[in-house]
Structure 1
Amino acid sequence: MSDPQSIREAISTRGRPLNAVVTVLPAPDHEPAGPLAGLPVAVKDMIDIAGQPRGNGNPEDMAGPPAQADAPIISRLRELGADIAATTALLEYAAGAQHPLLPEARNPVAPHLTAGGSSGGSAALVGTGAVPAALGTDTGGSIRLPAHYCGVVGFKPSFGLLPVAGVQPLSPSLDHVGFLTSDVATAIRLFTALTGTAVPLADGGLRFGVLSSQLGDARLEPGIRASVEAAIARLAHRADVIDVGGAPLDLLNEPLGPIIRYESWQVHGETMTAHPDHFGATTARMLRAAAGVTREDYADALERRTTLLGPAAALLRDVDVLVGPAAPYAAPEISPPVDTPEGEIEGIFSGPYNATGQPAIVIPCGLTTDGLPVGLQLAAPRGEDARLLAAALFAEEALSVGGNVIV
């Protein structure tokens, strides 16, 4: 690993042209020790870092008072020896739209396209090779979608596994903290250090459950389908591949929207009512729509989610992990707001795993004919994060597409 100063130079020279960086943080004043000793980690700018404003992708917040203490996830990373090196750009409040006064993070593979949202700055910075790891948050795919767009690894752990205290909430029953990394091994290193859970090597005998309903979805672009199917075919040379359908996961998209909207209004409604101009116009528009979700609507959505959890879990009855596409299309020019036709379908494959709380990971699996990255999404039962990471490492090796995408 390079010295801390070289890391910071790389963050600036590679990350700033992509609008990925908010702040380059001071180098540690002591020699790091621990299982993550010297590992540079960037942090999505909605997680408290002592002495830094929690910027939230909002100009007023970025100019606001500094956090008084590190969020627990940051404190733990420091204790383990990690070098907290920079904060990274995001969509405003992780709510699905870029603030108009801030530049959107660009894609390291194709800078005229978006890095994705909401953890786009973290994905872009990892994608440049400036840092091997970054923290992100994920409420409906905000780690895994940028990973797919930028050709990096994006890991959302089981709900509640990593602490969200000191992290700006959006939808508390769905919010997760996770990682964007250059490869699966780095995600495993972070996971093992933070949780104390070892990840066993998967030396064969794995059973991958193919979500054929996702592959057959008419909204999935043909080029993405072709890359994912080719990846699954390669996996079939080294593991058992079994069709499990996937309808219960697909149905979970129905209650997900009302849950996010209702909970986001509980978080932001007071500010929106008193100071609507605090938000960018698109975020404000989405929050006004969220205000219309009633408590009864929310209760019905929660009940519907609960009804579907058992059938969704049953998809894993005869397999170790599920496998399918990460998103219906490759990186677009800008992140589509969630209330647009493109935005409404962006998270159809990622969002269900927020509803179930299952761990899910996206790994690079190929390129479109235009040379844009394509991700493969894997998921395991809730609480079986080590199983998922072992399978992802196996799949990464089988696909032979791991590593950084360098600008």
Structure 2
Amino acid sequence: MNEWDNMTIAGFQRQLAAGNASSLDWWAACRERIDACESSIQAWEYLALEPTVAMPAKDGPLPALFGVPVAIKDIIDTQRMPTTWGTRGYHCVAASDMDAAIVTQLARLGALPMGKTVSTEYAYFQPSKTRNPHDTRLTPGGSSSGSAAAVASGMVPVALGTQTVGSIIRPASYCGVVGFKPTHGTISTSGVKALAPSMDTVGWFSRSVEDSCILFSLLTGAAPVRRLGSLNGIRIAVCPLPSTPPLSPDVKTAIDEAAMRLTAQGASVTPLRLGPVFDELVTHQQVILAYEAAHALASERIRFGESMSRPLQALLEDGRRLSLERYWQSRQAAEHARHEISAHFTERVDAILAPSATGAAPEGLDSTGDPLYSRAWTLLGGPCLNLPMHRTSEGLPVGIQLVADRFKDAHLLAIAGVLMT
């Protein structure tokens, strides 16, 4: 372990201000780690040849992310780096005409893109080449496979991901890092490959809640996340969604440990049963995903259909067979559930404690794991946060998920900041 392993964004800013670090020091440390780890983990689709530094105005303050290395998921457009959308080359552009909006934001803030991290095919379920840093026989999850693995292995402190089903929360749980999916629509998806636009959400992976708080404020223009001295008065509900099947022993232990820790810090923790209507959201999410993906990837299906994986072909074919009426039915059910869950949050809950995944990362690289416990929360559109709080007897991470009402992202991050201290 060296000084860079636990470096935070705020810590690096202090080092720069004190003259104890230069703008490229963190980049160099990350490249050294990449050289040591990449051959076994395979988190990167493309590595930038050299850093591009956004120089601050003369005698002006340094940009807020000046010199901070970041990874860009390979479904996000970049001008200086190729994009393959996880297709292993059957669909590839040498460079895009424009950077995605989120990439432009990061550049203006002084961040240094390290490269493009591996994604599953069009951010769906076909596994990628990436391995789990905790055990290379295990999946890192998906679709943001490379981003989660790169942060977990110390190759980069911050990595962009996207979530349409469970593509941030699940790999964050499997790899043992913080993963944050903001309220749907908070971060622009301009320049990000669409899969199901009514659910596609840009988020990120980081080493700490503190860094996620900083990123949220900088990338949204929100005020800095308020620090809470304790969790006194905070109301937490325990609510796996769907409510069946029973939790695995490791997941139950992770939830119980988190609940005890929340209680010890002053929060009230109670169970919440939402009922069968909410369990049906898993099916509604699958319907909406298939219908929207069939339209979003219509051109790709015509051009590359024979090269696509069988799971993706099946999804697009299912979507083509769905009627508009069935799609609208699921959209209406989701909207009704959003209003109902908002009423629960308003009247009795600040955040919900839920599983991030069905267990630790499964063995084998032919699957990215089951996104069961993310489908409904993603459809509901609120902020979701994976926290790495538990390890199995074999030392594998099992995350817990905190969920809040739409537009309560800062409050969720503030609660997590106390929980992880």
Settle same-fold status: TM greater than 0.5.
Answer: yes
The aligned residue for residue 47 of structure 2 is 24
Q: Name the CA shift for 1:168/1:121 in 2 (closer, same or farther; >3 Å).
A: same
Shift in Å, 1:245: 2.2
Q: 1:229 aligns with which of 221, 234, 256?
A: 256
Q: Name the CA shift for 1:176/1:335 in 2 (closer, same or farther; >3 Å).
A: farther
Q: Name the CA shift for 1:362/1:235 in 2 (closer, same or farther; >3 Å).
A: same
Distance 1:44 1:217 in 2: 32
Q: Which amino acid aligns with 1:174?
A: M
User: Which stretch has the larger CA shift, 45-54 or 285-294?
Assistant: 285-294
Shift in Å, 1:267: 1.2
Q: Name the CA shift for 1:251/1:188 in 2 (closer, same or farther; >3 Å).
A: same
Q: 2:84·2:91 contact (CA, 8 Å) conserved in 1?
A: yes
Q: 2:362 aligns with which of 326, 332, 339?
A: 332
Q: Which amino acid aligns with 2:354?
A: G
Does residue 13 in structure 1 map to residue 39 in structure 2? no
Deviation readout 1:283-309 (Å, 9 max, x if unpaired): 223322332222221111112212222
The aligned residue for residue 201 of structure 1 is 227
Does residue 323 in structure 1 map to residue 347 in structure 2? no
Does residue 169 in structure 1 map to residue 194 in structure 2? yes
Q: Which amino acid aligns with 2:255?
A: V
Does residue 382 in structure 1 map to residue 406 in structure 2? yes
Q: 1:272·1:278 contact (CA, 8 Å) conserved in 2?
A: no
SS of residue paired to 1:60: coil
The aligned residue for residue 65 of structure 1 is 94
Structure 2: which 5+ runs fail to align? Answer: 1-11, 13-24, 57-61
Q: 1:116·1:334 contact (CA, 8 Å) conserved in 2?
A: no
Shift in Å, 1:335: 6.3
Distance 1:244 1:299 in 2: 28
Q: Name the CA shift for 1:75/1:132 in 2 (closer, same or farther; >3 Å).
A: same
User: Which stretch has the larger CA shift, 16-25 or 205-214?
Assistant: 205-214
SS of residue paired to 2:325: helix
Q: 1:224·1:368 contact (CA, 8 Å) conserved in 2?
A: no
Q: Name the CA shift for 1:382/1:6 in 2 (closer, same or farther; >3 Å).
A: same
Q: Name the CA shift for 1:394/1:191 in 2 (closer, same or farther; >3 Å).
A: same
- Correspondence list, 1:63-212, <5 A: 63-98=92-127, 103-197=128-222, 198-204=224-230, 205-212=232-239
Q: Which amino acid aligns with 1:331?
A: A
Identity across matched positions, percent: 32
* Aligned length in residues: 387
Q: 2:415 aligns with which of 371, 391, 406?
A: 391
Q: 2:90·2:304 contact (CA, 8 Å) conserved in 1?
A: no
Q: 2:315 aligns with which of 246, 262, 286?
A: 286
SS of residue paired to 1:226: helix
SS of residue paired to 1:369: coil
Distance 1:3 1:359 in 2: 29
Distance 2:358 2:182 in 1: 22
Structure 1: which 5+ runs fail to align? Answer: 398-407
User: Which stretch has the larger CA shift, 276-285 or 154-163?
Assistant: 276-285
Q: 1:370 aligns with which of 394, 400, 419?
A: 394
Q: 1:244 aligns with which of 272, 286, 290?
A: 272
Distance 2:36 2:406 in 1: 39
SS of residue paired to 1:328: coil
Shift in Å, 1:127: 0.1
User: Which stretch has the larger CA shift, 379-388 or 226-235?
Assistant: 226-235
Shift in Å, 1:62: 5.8
Q: Name the CA shift for 1:74/1:168 in 2 (closer, same or farther; >3 Å).
A: same
The aligned residue for residue 401 of structure 1 is none
Distance 2:233 2:180 in 1: 20
The aligned residue for residue 384 of structure 2 is 360
Shift in Å, 1:364: 0.7
TM-score norm. by structure 1 comes to: 0.89
The aligned residue for residue 70 of structure 2 is 41
Q: 1:15·1:124 contact (CA, 8 Å) conserved in 2?
A: no
Q: 1:209·1:321 contact (CA, 8 Å) conserved in 2?
A: yes
Distance 1:158 1:323 in 2: 17
Distance 1:394 1:166 in 2: 35
User: Which stretch has the larger CA shift, 316-325 or 180-189?
Assistant: 316-325
The aligned residue for residue 340 of structure 2 is 311
Q: 2:182·2:203 contact (CA, 8 Å) conserved in 1?
A: yes
Shift in Å, 1:49: 1.0
SS of residue paired to 1:154: strand
Larger gyration radius, structure 1 or structure 2 = 2
Distance 2:294 2:215 in 1: 33
Shift in Å, 1:196: 2.3
